[in-house]
């Protein structure tokens, strides 16, 4: 066999091996690392290096992609998203903070605060989100809640109130602690809420910022640690995180034609590449479908000889992969019984949205007005009429 033919056969073999390798999952340290998947000659999922990842649509909250998104992992400095939004919800950005010795002594990533420095809460939040200052986080906590412990309590309450139930935070900056953990899903939920705050969203979209000190008066330029803001034109946030325990982490946001996607990557060797591929995949392969508007009549409720209109209690929309639109369907589930009196907004059933056999989400079905029936009439199933006058 000639050398050229041998090289050709080896080249084909190697090519086929690499294709097959990239079409399956491999196990690394107990985590399933999913490779890009090819079906009928087309890539259906992007390559993601992260041990835990999620992509959501910011408007609907629908999950577009996830892998081990509910696994509890150290979040590193992505913690600062919760720190910032907790402070923004509780205090004014114009409040003046005096840096304590405790804030001065925080190690690792820093904006180099010194005991006795005075600056506004807003400047501290910029230092935490743009430059990832751990010292700024402690100063934020003390200014907002009066003590570090109280602020941490409020952080956990905020997380739980948003539906981030699998997290526990023991500090405001994300330095390693065995009791400090979150999940990709929880961080996505927190970030979705935070990005609706115009102050927060403006800060995390900045490539550069300037921190203004009140005392001693000075200005300090800071550069955002989120390199995606330079490499991906659609990027508009939000936060990096890196420790030996957590690996490289990133929460990323991007907006295209008014539509925002948010992805979270934990322990991701190629976090910026992962974010780019996930966000691009989301914009190109998923879409929001509007199923109905609040107040739209979708059914009638047969009771006592008449038909009561049943309407949607909220707008109904879903974000799914475009190729799955043909298996999107709805199901109306009405309550078996109602009381003698129905008031406006009373729940009469559920509007179920499915992708194939999988329940995607539910919306309530309600009464659009008051109805009143005589008990004797109801028992005899007659004369159940709308209330007039």
Of 52, 77, 100, 253, the active-site residue reads: 77
- Specify whether 80 is catalytic: yes
Distance CA(204)–CA(85), nearest Å, equals 12
Nearest CA-CA partner of 354 in 260, 295, 291, 281: 291
Indicate left, alpha or beta for 108 from its phi (over 0: left) and psi (-120 to 50: alpha). left
Of 132, 167, 182, 367, the active-site residue reads: 132
Q: Which residue is associated with the tokens 């990709």?
A: 184
Give, as one character, the DSSP assignment of residue 76.
G
Indicate left, alpha or beta for 113 from its phi (over 0: left) and psi (-120 to 50: alpha). beta
Distance CA(253)–CA(225), nearest Å, equals 14
Indicate left, alpha or beta for 381 from its phi (over 0: left) and psi (-120 to 50: alpha). left
- The partner residues of 266 in beta bridges, in order of sequence, read 52
- Specify whether 343 is catalytic: no
Q: Tell me the pairing of strands 306-312 and 358-366.
A: antiparallel
Nearest CA-CA partner of 103 in 67, 133, 77: 133
Torsion of CA 88, 61, 279, 254, to 10 degrees: -30
- Specify whether 223 is catalytic: no
384's CB contacts (< 8 A; 6+ apart) are: 303, 304, 305, 306, 308, 371, 373, 377, 378
Of 80, 158, 239, 248, the active-site residue reads: 80
Distance CA(310)–CA(295), nearest Å, equals 9
Q: Nearest 5 degrees, angle CA 72-CA 265-CA 44?
A: 115
- The partner residues of 237 in beta bridges, in order of sequence, read 253
Residues identified as active-site: 77, 80, 132
């Amino acid at each position: 066999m000639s050398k050229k033919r041998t090289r050709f056969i080896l080249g084909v073999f190697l090519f086929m091996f690499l294709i097959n390798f990239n079409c399956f999952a491999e196990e690394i340290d107990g985590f399933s690392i999913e490779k890009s998947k090819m079906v009928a000659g087309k890539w259906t999922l992007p390559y993601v290096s992260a041990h835990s990842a999620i992509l959501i649509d910011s408007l609907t909250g629908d999950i577009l992609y996830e892998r081990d998104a509910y696994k509890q992992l150290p979040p590193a400095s992505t913690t600062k998203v919760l720190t910032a939004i907790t402070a923004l919800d509780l205090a004014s950005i114009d409040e003046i903070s005096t840096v304590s010795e405790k804030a001065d002594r925080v190690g690792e990533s820093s904006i180099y605060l010194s005991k006795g420095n005075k600056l506004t809460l807003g400047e501290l939040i910029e230092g935490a989100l743009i430059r990832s200052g751990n010292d700024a986080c402690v100063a934020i906590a003390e200014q907002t809640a009066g003590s570090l412990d109280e602020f941490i309590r409020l952080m956990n309450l905020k997380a739980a109130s948003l539906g981030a139930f699998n997290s526990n935070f023991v500090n405001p900056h994300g330095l390693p602690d065995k009791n400090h953990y979150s999940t990709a899903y929880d961080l996505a939920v927190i970030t979705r809420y935070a990005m609706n705050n115009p102050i927060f969203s403006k800060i995390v979209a900045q490539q550069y910022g300037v921190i203004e000190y009140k005392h001693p008066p000075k200005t300090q330029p800071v550069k955002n640690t989120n390199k995606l803001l330079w490499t991906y034109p659609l990027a508009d946030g939000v936060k990096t995180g890196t420790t030996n325990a957590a690996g490289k982490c990133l929460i990323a946001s991007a907006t295209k034609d008014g539509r925002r996607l948010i992805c979270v990557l934990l322990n991701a060797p190629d976090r910026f590449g992962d974010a780019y591929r996930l966000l691009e995949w989301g914009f190109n392969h998923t879409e929001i479908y509007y199923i109905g508007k609040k107040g739209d009549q979708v059914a009638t409720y047969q009771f006592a000889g008449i038909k009561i209109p049943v309407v949607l209690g909220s707008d109904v929309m879903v974000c799914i992969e475009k190729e799955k639109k043909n298996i999107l369907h709805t199901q109306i589930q009405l309550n078996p019984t109602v009381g003698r009196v129905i008031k406006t907004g009373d729940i009469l059933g559920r509007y179920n949205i499915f992708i194939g056999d999988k329940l995607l989400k539910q919306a309530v079905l309600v009464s659009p007005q008051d109805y009143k029936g005589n008990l004797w009439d109801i028992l005899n199933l007659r004369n159940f009429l709308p209330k007039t006058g």
